[in-house]
A and B are shown apart, each in its own frame.
Chain A
Amino acid sequence: MGERLEHAPLLTEVDLTDGRASEPSRPLRGVNRAFHGRRGLGVVTTLGLPLSWMLFVYVGSLLLLVVSAFYALDPITQKPSSTFTLDNIEAAFNIFDPAVRDTIWVLARTVGVALLVTFCCFLIALPVAFFIAKVAPRWVRRGLMVAMLMPLWAGYLVKGYAWRAMVAPSGGKFAASGKGDGGFLDATFGWTPGYGRVAIVITLVYFWLPYMVLPIYAGLDRMSPSLLDAAGDLGAKPFRTFRSIILPLLMPAIAAGSIFTFSLTLGDYIVPQMVNNGKEKFMFGTLINSTLGAPNQPLAAAYTLWPLLIVVLYLLAMKRAGAFENL
């Protein structure tokens, strides 16, 4: 914070603050003296509380979760017992067992959906962000960005419910009278994907799109126009500029956006359930939830290790791509 010019009495008499006291009160003086020059103490005091909170409450809970997966479920009472076992870990991770492979298949399917949603968000977000950052006139930029981000705050369940109302299919020919009319899409366009996998993907893209738009916009905004002009001066057509200059420079921003779209899709089970048909449990999160409700807490904990591992690995990979500077 710079040197305190202790031996310059002139300065302590200067009124810095419009008539308020210029010297800190007695206890604060002691505090100031204690902290002066002691960087370590400063770090510990400021960081101490939040860090211990996160470590004890959060990391501690995650560790306890991992530990709980190593205990067997008492078959009679269906509560976790104190018997140590590797069965749950095996049931979740042993890919050589065909029964386990069914579970892994659900996980793979979910990862696939997460990547698909990320990709679709990227495809939509990029042109939109580009338009707002580079094409739209300056005075609408903020308004457009605000308009893009507002749906994020409309409420998670609200949006899930909204899509349920959008894609509701009309009933079969045996519907009771007055029942079985379709939702918005069916009524307005005569077509709806109905409840199911397509609706799940569309809904998830809808949910996480603003998370992708924001960092890409920020990345584009930071990009100096002179850079793009230079490329044009050197003879590059817009597409070439885009491919060789803009896209590589945007990678960290895209990586940042993808963290949310990927990870949030991977674990989501509530919204997929809302727009799913009654037939399949599509997402891995649904499997974890139903295992927990079986009740089989240790096995659910073992299953949870999968998304935990995948997301942590993904986070580390995105960190390398520079995503964290762009969050």
Chain B
Amino acid sequence: MRKTRIAVALMASMALVVAACGDDEATSSTEAVETTAGSETTAGGTDTTAGSETTAGSGETDYQWTPNPDILAAAEGQVNFVAWAGYAEDGSTDPAYDWVTPFEQITSCEVNVKNGSTSDEMVQLMQSGEYDGVSASGDATQRLMAGDEVVAIDPAEFPSYENIFEGLKMQPWNSQDDQPYGIPHGRGANLLVYNTEAFADGAPDSWSVMFEPGSPADGAVSVYDSPIYIADAALYLMATQPDLGITNPYALDQAQFDAAIALLEEQAALTSQYWALYTDQQASLENGDVLAGTTWQVIVNLAQANGAKIDAVKPVEGATGWSDTWMLSSKAANPNCMKLWMDWIASPWANSQVAVWFGEAPSNAVSCTLDGMAEHCETFHAEDEDYWTDVWYWTTATEECLDGRTDATCVPYTEWVNAWNTLRS
């Protein structure tokens, strides 16, 4: 009897606690996912404060952005979007890199980010209709546009749009029916990372260390866990088996596709890790479990800051890459805040910050003129279109061959997914 009373009292007090503390949520929480836990790394390469121009004497950063006043007036107070990890930093990973807090202060739109690890995951998240927007790579954008998950934008509402590099605007992956469907974010290549101590005899410059046995990284290779990686295999075949006739790694007829899958099956013997969460690859690089792999510059930066002896390079065969676009959801609950974010992230200062942090080329031409950005833009070939000729941006493979062939049918992406799942099981 007494025990029962104690139990009931316990439950009642729990209820009281729940009710009393319920108000806490009303106070703002900046990130739903990342929490402050001190920071161990100061990554982002050598430029820690690149791109900021201080107004004379005040010590305050000039964010070089004036939000569209009509949209600002209609701002909803919060925005929820899906983004690649590292695209919306709020200072919790590294206090020197924070372009979310200034945005929140200027627009009063509280930012909630959901990190997606692969384009497939992002498409699935957007299909739920619960997000206002997404930073989509080319292999997600087409599915989103076809499925009416995203809407066309009116460039007039986005002051930053006019300074975007012309080569990124109105591309097949970010436009439809002659209408732009989003704001270009930046672009980058998937690089080959390698452990400098393991490769002390000579730094690699070819994807062969990931596909051929016998290299110092044999058995310690790290592969990106997404069907889109099949294009990387196809890319390697472009160089090593030219008689297959592959001209575009996303346009593979059945024979070419089968060859790519066969290559990947052989690669499995060399592989020790298939990564989707960037932190997994980062930890393995630091542990020395992975000695070579396909990576993003941001992972290399973070691992180097923790002492990993690694370096990254774009191999001679070329590389797959991404050209990301910020898109607005057709079911956005907070479209105005999302538009403000899209304009913000494409504005010179913010765009330069994310470009430096993530290790990619910015999309806003003015970013390259900011303090300290000239070197970054050169390293990442922001204005060098030649560099991008052998970078194949992530794109959705369709039955209609993307290389223009009319005499063959190409394998569509749904088949890529099935083949990848079979490979991985």
Contact = CB atoms under 8 A, between A and B. Distances in A.
Interface of A: 73-79, 91, 99, 102-103, 105-106, 171-180, 277-281, 287, 290-296
Nearest to A181: B287
A52 to B, nearest CB: 27
18 contacts: A76-B147, A77-B147, A78-B123, A78-B414, A171-B289, A172-B287, A172-B289, A174-B288, A179-B286, A180-B288, A279-B273, A279-B274, A281-B425, A287-B421, A290-B424, A295-B124, A295-B127, A296-B417
Nearest to A76: B146
Nearest to A303: B421
B366 to A, nearest CB: 36
Contact of B288 (A73, A105, A176): A176
Contacts of A78: 123, 127, 143, 147, 414
B421 A291 contact: yes
Given A278-B280, A291-B421, A179 B274 contact: no
A292 B417 CA distance: 11
Interface centre among A76, A102, A174 (most CB of B within 10 A): A174
B121 A293 contact: yes
Interface centre among A172, A277, A294 (most CB of B within 10 A): A294
B120 interface: yes
A210 to B, nearest CB: 22
B275 A278 contact: yes
B291 A174 contact: yes
B89 to A, nearest CB: 23
Contacts of B275: 278
B308 interface: yes
Contacts of B284: 278
Contacts of B268: 279
A171 B422 CA distance: 30
Contacts of B287: 171-172, 175-176, 179-180
Nearest to A170: B287
B307 interface: yes
A294 B418 CA distance: 9
Nearest to B273: A278
B336 interface: no
CB-based closest 5 A-B pairs: A77-B147, A171-B287, A278-B273, A175-B288, A174-B288
Dominant secondary structure at the B interface: mixed
B347 interface: no
Contact of B414 (A73, A174, A290): A73
B425 A176 contact: no
Contact of A99 (B118, B149, B220, B422): B422
B248 interface: no
Contacts of A296: 414, 417
B412 interface: yes
B418 to A, nearest CB: 8
Nearest to A299: B418
Interface string B192-225: 0001011000000000000000000000101000
B196 to A, nearest CB: 9
B412 A279 contact: no
B146 A176 contact: no
Given A279-B274, A295-B123, A174 B421 contact: no
A180 B306 CA distance: 12
Given A174-B198, A179-B307, A294-B417, A103 B422 contact: yes
B288 A173 contact: yes
A174 B288 CA distance: 5
A292 B121 CA distance: 9
B272 A175 contact: no
Contacts of A280: 424-425
A18 to B, nearest CB: 15
Nearest to B271: A279
Contacts of B413: 75
B331 interface: no
Contacts of B414: 73, 75, 78, 296
A274 to B, nearest CB: 12
A103 B424 CA distance: 10
B273 A174 contact: no
A174 B195 contact: yes
Contacts of B418: 91, 99
